[in-house]
Structure 1
Amino acid sequence: MKKSGILNRDIAAVLARLGHTDTVIIADCGLPIPDHIPCIDLSIRLGKPSFTSVLEALEEDMVIEKMILANEIKIKNSGLHTHLAKQYSKIPLDYVSHEELKECIVDAKVVIRTGEATPYANVILQAGVLF
């Protein structure tokens, strides 16, 4: 058994296979995920686990070069947007429309679905490198 880090075997395996610029999406419980895209569904109840708790765990184990958010988060979920900008201030934030974010799903290695139930609580994490 792993002693630390992400214990979920599916997430740990995806992170181990990531290369530079590969992407992982952390999604709220409402983001539509095409059937052919790998999805690790962590949702157990509305709000559980939260988007922020899953992002925090991934950020501890993954080199994140950039985060991509929907422009709409700035207005429709300003509290989460402020939290992300402050908590992850060393990681560049890029913005696309929510429709563009949904189009990016097809290029992701995996979507990790949370129980989050607040608007636009989705992020594309672009993998960086340790060197």
Structure 2
Amino acid sequence: MKRTGILHAELGGALATLGHTDLLLVVDAGFPVPRDAHRIDLALAENLPDLRTVLALIADELVVEGVVRAENVPSHNPRLDSWLRDRFPDAGFSTRPHAAVLGELAREAKVIVRTGAFEPWGNIGLYCGVDAPRWFGGEGVVVPEEYAGRV
């Protein structure tokens, strides 16, 4: 039996398929998941599981270089925005119009994980990155400028 980390077989397997620049969306209970999306539905009941728990568990397994959320989050759900910035301190942050998160961003995502969250604008995109020190730490390797600060 697996001792730690994500025990959900489908979610763990999906995370293992993600590579650099792939987008994973972790969404609330009301998110309109596209019919053809790779959907992993964890929702059991209201706030079971909640958004932050799922994001934190995923963050422990992925290198996240970018976080995208609806442009309403910083002003209309500042506690969530603050939590995201604390949890992903090395990631770049961006916003999109709410309609774009529900539409074009959802179509771009490689995987969409639905939570039971009843959280306003609780739809968060995570762009996968690379572990720069491990990737570029070899002797004689020239570190690209965009990763120099992370090595």
TM-score tier after normalising by the smaller chain length? over 0.9
Decide whether the 8 Å contact of 2:56 with 2:87 is kept in 1.
no
Distance 1:129 1:86 in 2: 19
TM-superposition CA deviations, 1:57-109 (whole Å, max 9, x none): 00000111111111111222122112212332222211111111121111211
Higher relative contact order (CA 8 A, sep 6+): 1
Q: Which moved more, 1:109-118 or 1:75-84?
A: 75-84
The letter of the residue matching 1:3 is R
Cα deviation for residue 35 of structure 1 reads 1.1
Q: 2:123 — aligned with what?
A: 122
Cα deviation for residue 3 of structure 1 reads 2.1
Superposition map of 1:68-107 within 5 A: 68-102=68-102, 103-107=104-108
TM-superposition CA deviations, 1:38-62 (whole Å, max 9, x none): 1111111111111000000000001
Distance 2:24 2:88 in 1: 16
Distance 2:126 2:39 in 1: 15
TM-score computed with the length of structure 2 as normaliser: 0.82
Superposition map of 1:13-92 within 5 A: 13-92=13-92
Q: 2:148 — aligned with what?
A: none
Compare CA radii of gyration and give the structure with the larger one.
2
Q: What's the Cα RMSD here? A: 1.1
Identical counterparts, % of pairs: 31
Superposition map of 1:1-12 within 5 A: 1-12=1-12
Distance 1:35 1:62 in 2: 25
Distance 1:5 1:66 in 2: 22
The letter of the residue matching 1:122 is N
